[in-house]
Amino acid sequence: MRKFILISIVFCFMACKQDQVIQPMEGNFKLDGIGNEEAWSSVDWQPMNHVWLGDQPTSDDFEGRYKVLWKNDGLYVLSEIKDDILMDQYIDPLEKYWDDDCLEIFVDVDASGGNHQFNNNAFAYHISLDNRVADMGKDSLPHLYNHIRSRRTTSNNLSVWEVYMPMYGEDFLHGQSNRAVELKEGQQIGFAIAYCDNDESKERENFIGSMPIPGEDKNRAWIDANLFTKYHLVSSSN
Ligand SMILES: [Ca+2]
Ligand SMILES: [Ca+2]
Ligand SMILES: [Ca+2]
Ligand SMILES: [Ca+2]
């Protein structure tokens, strides 16, 4: 009996892993930090609840969730972040951007996995409170990635982010004219989303992501694309 339960759990786990899908963005869309499009209401929220750095935050300190949709021209992300204090201590968007409050979205357009620290095999886009987007480039230096567009609205302690993300492959060259990858139904991509929460410290206090990371060091998604969740892009009939 115990063996049967164990096998069932393993099968369920595999099925759940395989069931990760991204639905298409259909209808009108306006990048304005307001998630009132019909397309958003057609999919469920997914939690950001895995602690990668710091202690488990209280619900007053941080709560986060997200939705993601796709079109041929890229991914569309909606995220709701409850954060008690918004902090932007480094005005320079390329200086210690991970120690300011920021939304971090990880993408691997061909789901290849592997190291992406100082190459473009995958990206870890850090989106600041003022909608500037930074990541490490091939030269091991931080750069702005202006092709990622973001809008945030905040009311009291609740911020809503909408992000439009054209997707690029590992041949992306910074500062050059690059062609975005056209997304197609059935394609598999790697995706993850996290929030760096700092309220009053020199360094970020918490880092909370969308998937569990095994092992002691959980701050590895910015280096290792194997950790990203694999999603299939599906049509609305799936
Ligand atoms: Ca909108
Ligand atoms: Ca907080
Ligand atoms: Ca890749
Ligand atoms: Ca904060």
> DSSP letters of 139-202?
TSSEEE-TTSEEEEEEETTEEEEEEEE----TT--TTS--PPPPP-TT-EEEEEEEEEE-SSSS
Name the closest ligand to CA 225: 3
Q: Which residue has the higher pLDDT, 14 or 88?
A: 88
Give the integer Cα–Cα distance in Å for 170 and 214: 26
Residues of the chain above pLDDT 90, percent: 90
Span 160-201, pLDDT tens digits = 999 999 999 999 999 899 999 999 999 999 999 999 999 999
Residue type, 126: H
How far CA 87 is from CA of 75, 98, 100, 201, 214, in Å, comes to: 27, 11, 6, 9, 29
How far CA 109 is from CA of 16, 80, 103, 191, in Å, comes to: 21, 24, 19, 8
Q: Is the pLDDT of residue 65 over 50?
A: yes
How far is ligand 3, taken at its centre, from the CA of residue 114, in Å? 7
- DSSP assignment, residue 115? B
How far is ligand 1, taken at its centre, from the CA of residue 55, in Å? 33
pLDDT value of position 236: 80
Q: Give the rounded distance of the alpha carbon of 82 from its chain centre.
A: 16
Name the closest ligand to CA 62: 2
Lowest mean pLDDT segment, chosen from 10-19, 67-76, 103-112: 10-19
Give the integer Cα–Cα distance in Å for 146 and 178: 12
With CA atoms as reference, report the closest residue to 103 among 48, 173, 146: 48
Give the integer Cα–Cα distance in Å for 15 and 92: 44
Which tokens sit at 129? Answer: 């409170």
How far is ligand 2, taken at its centre, from the CA of residue 91, in Å? 19
Neighbours of ion ligand 3 (CB under 5 A): 108, 110, 112, 121-122
Q: Which fold has domain 22-233?
A: Immunoglobulin-like (2.60.40)
How far is ligand 3, taken at its centre, from the CA of residue 115, in Å? 9
The domain segmentation of the chain, as residue ranges, is 22-233
Q: Is the pLDDT of residue 237 over 90?
A: no
How far is ligand 4, taken at its centre, from the CA of residue 81, in Å? 10
Prediction pTM value? 0.92
How far is ligand 4, taken at its centre, from the CA of residue 175, in Å? 31
How far is ligand 3, taken at its centre, from the CA of residue 226, in Å? 10
Q: What is the CA radius of gyration of the chain?
A: 18
The pLDDT-based confidence of 15 (bands split at 50, 70, 90) is very low
**Residue 30 half-sphere exposure, CB side, CA atoms within 13 Å?**
6
- H/E segment holding residue 46: strand 46-48
Give the integer Cα–Cα distance in Å for 154 and 80: 10
